[in-house]
Amino acid sequence: MTRLIPLHDVAGLVGQELGVSDWHTVSQDQIDDFAQATGDKEWFHIDVERATREMGGTIAHGFLTLSIVPVLWGTIARITEFKGGYNYGIDKARFTAPVRAGARIRLRATMREPQQRRGGTIVSVGCVIEVEGEDRPALVTDWSEIFYSEEEVQGRAMPVT
C-alpha cells in the first residue's frame, strides 16, 4: 500500500527508510521500446542472439533503469498536500551492476534532507535499485522533486495537481 506523506511531514522523515517497492520485471520488449525511443540500439541491449552467445543475455539501458524509479516510487509513497510540482533532478547516479532482460528489480527508498529553493520545497529520496538474486544494486542515486504550496504556485508554469 502506498504511503501518503504530507509535504510538511517530510523533514521529520530524514534518514528513514520509507520502504521497498513491488518487484518489476524488466522485459526485452521494454528494453527494445526504450532503444527505439532513445535511439540507443547497442547490440548488447537489443540483439538477443548475439548477447546471449557473448554475455549470457541482453542488458537493460542504465537510463531505462533510472526511468523506472518514479514508477517504483509510486508503490512506496506519494507526497501530498501541495498544489504543484515537477521533477527537479538526479544527483550522484551510479550504474553499479547490469540488469538483464527478464530480471526483477525493486526500489529501496530513504528520505533525504528537504531544501527550500526557488520558492518551493525540494524533496530528495535516496534510491537503490536492487536486482533479485544479486548482491550488488544496479543503481544508486538521489532523485529530487520540487513542490509548491498554493501561494507558491501562483504565476508559475507547471503541472498542478
- Domains in the chain (CATH in brackets) are 3-153 (3.10.129.10)
**Nearest to residue 21, comparing CAs of 101, 94, 105, 123?**
105
- From first to last of its 161 residues, the chain has per-residue pLDDT tens of 899 999 999 999 999 999 999 999 999 999 999 999 999 999 999 999 999 999 999 999 999 999 999 999 999 999 999 999 999 999 999 999 999 999 999 999 999 999 999 789 999 999 999 999 999 999 999 999 999 986 665 665 655 55
Kindly state the helix (H) or strand (E) to which residue 144 belongs, with its residue range: strand 139-148
Q: What is the dihedral of CA 101, 145, 12, 113, to 10 degrees?
A: 90
Rounded to two decimals, the pTM is 0.90
Instruction: Single out the residue of 120, 131, 109 nearest to residue 156, CA to CA.
Output: 120
Give residue 158's pLDDT.
Answer: 57
* pLDDT score at 155: 60
pLDDT number for residue 152? 60
- Burial class (CB within 10 angstroms; exposed 0-12, middle 13-18, buried 19+) of 105: buried
Q: What is the DSSP letter of 118?
A: T
Residue-level pLDDT at 11? 97
Instruction: Write the single-letter amino acid at 140.
Output: V
